[in-house]
């Protein structure tokens, strides 16, 4: 009854006064109802505007504007980097207690500090529909609370999972906020029919943008309208002999501005277990705004979820994503982590992939072992931004590094040459070798590099890379590999025995390409 009266009062207000003062809310993204946009506005009797627009990743202060008939313009200021202020404008059309607001910049989709190369065409302006939820003038935004400091925690026991680097698929690289229940089911089907599952790719991982805008009345995390029933989805994925992964953040918001697990760590771990989740990627994102960003605090924040997962009643692989900061290799294992990102985000370009793979992995092999892996980010193979030789380099290098192999392409629509790269059994065997040793660079001569990984049977996987612009002769010397005598060589891309060699193995390698062999 009371709400009816309130609704009538709101209705009356909109009919009799063109005063926009109040609170207006609605979904911030057209792709789902998982992020909220709040307009808290005060309209002065003379027509001036103040208040703020709070979106998933930014709060804009209203500094002016005008209402001409039903057409609204709001001038806002957004805090930028280094105290710079961006001046932006929203436009809108008022229809009673509804407001169609055109956003000044895209809110949906990708977030985080590491942006991908700008898209070729600017995205179409996004229009969101807000509803008036009160007529109250906005109260000032609370000041940001002091950063939280946490002590170094007790170590979390190992969960015994991921004895070899996890293999599977993740939605982010190709699909960003387009991932949905339907897509995940289709990908799961395709993982089986394409042969990916048989090749070892088992985890089907939902990245950011599955979360609902609000927790329920008990504080449980919810899904948005792209994921109507997570439990049914996990049952479907499990029925295919695959496992389901999900994503969250130790912060209040994820990198794309969706709900994070801050102050709900244990509860969310239980929810994930109840849904039948087998893998969690836990992404720092907005945690940097609530925590003090010291190593002890970050370790504590990750240990909270590590413990939550361990006590959740389900075996869940734990993937840390904090971009390799604060010496994560020294503590990733101690928070119950099975893998930890060592870099910012990969993108589907040679420069990005080679920087992450060749430059940022030095000396990290010491902390990798069965159950605990360095993660130079997910695969871009098949997404179209690199040549097949470059994708072979990507696959070879990640395997030499004993990296998680998480395909990031559209498995439903995979060209045969891409399938051949992702499903090269001999290269996968290097990545998945039971010894669990991460390989490393053993020789470098300008753009020519030799990397080697010791394998369980005493042989070595050796990759001869050419990062230069022209094809070149690359040599792997026995002295660099710590071996001697006559050795059998097997080419892992040609699937051919090359006979025995003494002292060295020398071969022509195409520009940005690789020759990968096993030397026994």
Query: Residues with catalytic annotation?
Result: 283, 345
Segment lying near ligand GLA (by CB under 6 A), choices 17-25, 107-115, 150-158, 492-500: 107-115
Scanning 67-75, 249-257, 347-355, 446-454 for contacts with ligand GLA by CB under 6 A, the matching segment is 249-257
Residue 452 host element (H or E): strand 448-454
Q: Smaller CB distance to ligand GLA: residue 62 or 230?
A: 230
For the CA atoms of 229, 233, 236, 238, the dihedral, rounded to the nearest 10 degrees, stands at -130
Query: What does the block give as tokens for 92?
Result: 């809108």
Q: How many CB atoms lie within 10 A of CB 227?
A: 24
Q: How far is the CB of 321 from ligand GLA (least distance, A)?
A: 5
Quick one: 177 or 271, whose CB is closer to ligand GLA?
Answer: 177
Give min distance, CB of 113 to ligand GLA, in A.
7
Give least dist CB 499 to ligand GLA, A: 43
Q: Which is nearer to ligand GLA, 49 or 203 (CB)?
A: 203
Could you please report the per-residue DSSP string of 264-295? Answer: -HHHHHHHHHHHT--EEEEE-TTHHHHB---H
Q: Which is nearer to ligand GLA, 109 or 454 (CB)?
A: 109
Q: How far is CA 193 from CA 27, 55, 188, 281, in A?
A: 37, 41, 9, 26
CB-based contacts of 301: which residues, under 8 Å, 6+ apart?
150, 250, 287, 291
- Provide the pairing of β-strand 460-466 with 448-454: antiparallel
Interface with ligand GLA includes 321 (CB under 6 A)?
A: yes
452 is an interface residue for ligand GLA by CB under 6 A: no
Residue with tokens 């991460």: 438
Compute φ and ψ for 301, nearest 5 degrees. -60, -40
- The rounded distance, in Å, linking the Cα atoms of 216 and 220 is 5
Q: How many CA atoms lie within 13 A of 464 on its CB side?
A: 24
Binding test (CB under 6 A) with ligand GLA, winner from 22, 55, 108, 112: 112
Which of 126, 254, 312, 403 touches ligand GLA by CB under 6 A?
A: 254
501: left (phi over 0), alpha (psi -120 to 50) or beta: beta
Report how far residue 52's alpha carbon sits from residue 60's, in angstroms, rounded to the nearest whole number: 5
57 or 518: CB nearest ligand GLA: 57
Among 34, 111, 153, 250, contact with ligand GLA (rule: CB under 6 A):
111
- The region of 108-116, 292-300, 347-355, 439-447 touching ligand GLA under the rule CB under 6 A is 108-116
Instruction: Convert residues 275-314 into a mask of x (bound to ligand GLA by CB under 6 A) and - (unbound).
Output: --------x-------------------------------
CB of 123 to ligand GLA, least distance (A): 16
Q: Is 348 in the site for ligand GLA (CB under 6 A)?
A: no
In contact, 62 and 76? CB cutoff 8 Å: yes
Q: Among 512, 466, 518, which residue's Cα sits nearest to residue 491?
A: 518
Radius of gyration of the chain (CA): 26
Mask: binding to ligand GLA, 255-274, rule CB under 6 A, as x and -? xx------------------
Site string for ligand GLA, 136-175 (x = CB under 6 A): ------------------------------------x---
Which stretches of the chain bind ligand GLA, using CB under 6 A? 111-112, 114, 172, 207-208, 254-256, 283, 321, 345
């Amino acid at each position: 009854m009371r709400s009816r009266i309130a609704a009538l009062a709101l209705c009356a207000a909109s009919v009799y006064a063109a005063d926009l003062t109040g609170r207006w809310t609605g979904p911030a993204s057209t792709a789902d109802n998982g992020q909220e946009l709040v307009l808290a506005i005060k309209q002065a009797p003379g027509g001036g505007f103040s208040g703020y627009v709070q979106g998933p990743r930014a709060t804009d202060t209203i500094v002016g504007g005008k209402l001409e008939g039903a057409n609204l313009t709001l001038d806002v200021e957004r805090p930028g980097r280094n105290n710079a202020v961006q001046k932006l404008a929203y436009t809108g059309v008022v229809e009673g207690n509804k407001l169609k607001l055109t956003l000044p910049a895209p809110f949906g989709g990708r977030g985080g500090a590491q942006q991908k190369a700008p898209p070729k065409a600017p995205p179409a302006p996004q229009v969101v529909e807000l509803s008036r939820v009160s007529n109250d003038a906005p109260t000032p935004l609370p000041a940001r609370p002091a950063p939280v400091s946490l002590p170094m925690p007790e170590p979390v026991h190992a969960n015994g999972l991921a004895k070899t680097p996890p293999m599977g698929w993740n939605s982010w690289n190709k699909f960003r906020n387009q991932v949905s229940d339907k897509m995940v089911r289709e990908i799961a089907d395709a993982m089986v029919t394409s042969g990916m599952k048989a090749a070892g790719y088992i985890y089907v991982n939902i990245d950011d943008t599955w979360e609902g805008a609000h927790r329920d009345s008990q504080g449980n995390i919810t899904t948005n309208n792209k994921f109507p029933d997570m439990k049914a989805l996990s049952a479907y994925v499990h029925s295919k002999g695959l496992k389901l992964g999900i994503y969250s953040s130790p912060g209040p918001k994820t990198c794309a501005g969706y709900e994070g697990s801050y102050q709900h760590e244990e509860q969310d771990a239980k929810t994930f277990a109840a849904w039948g989740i087998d893998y969690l990627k836990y992404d720092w994102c907005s945690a940097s705004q609530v925590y003090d960003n010291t190593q002890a605090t970050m370790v504590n924040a990750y240990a909270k979820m590590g413990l939550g997962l361990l006590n959740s009643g389900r075996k869940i692989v734990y993937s840390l994503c904090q971009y390799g900061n604060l010496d994560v290799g020294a503590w990733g294992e101690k928070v119950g982590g099975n893998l930890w990102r060592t870099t910012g985000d990969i993108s589907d370009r040679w420069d990005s992939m080679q920087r992450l793979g060749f430059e940022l992995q030095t000396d990290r092999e010491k902390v990798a072992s069965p159950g605990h892996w360095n993660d130079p980010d997910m695969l871009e193979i098949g997404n179209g931004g690199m040549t097949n030789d470059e994708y072979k380099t990507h696959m070879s290098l990640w395997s030499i590094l004993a990296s998680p192999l998480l395909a990031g392409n559209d498995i439903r629509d995979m060209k045969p040459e891409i399938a051949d790269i992702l499903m090269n059994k001999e290269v996968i065997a290097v990545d998945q070798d039971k010894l669990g040793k991460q390989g490393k660079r053993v020789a470098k001569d300008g753009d020519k590099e030799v990397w080697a990984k010791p394998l369980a049977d005493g042989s070595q996987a050796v990759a001869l890379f050419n990062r230069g612009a022209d094809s070149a002769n690359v040599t792997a010397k026995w002295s660099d590999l710590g071996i001697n005598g006559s050795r059998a060589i097997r080419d892992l891309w040609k699937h051919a025995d090359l006979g025995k060699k003494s002292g060295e193995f020398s071969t022509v390698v195409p520009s940005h390409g690789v020759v990968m062999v096993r030397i026994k």
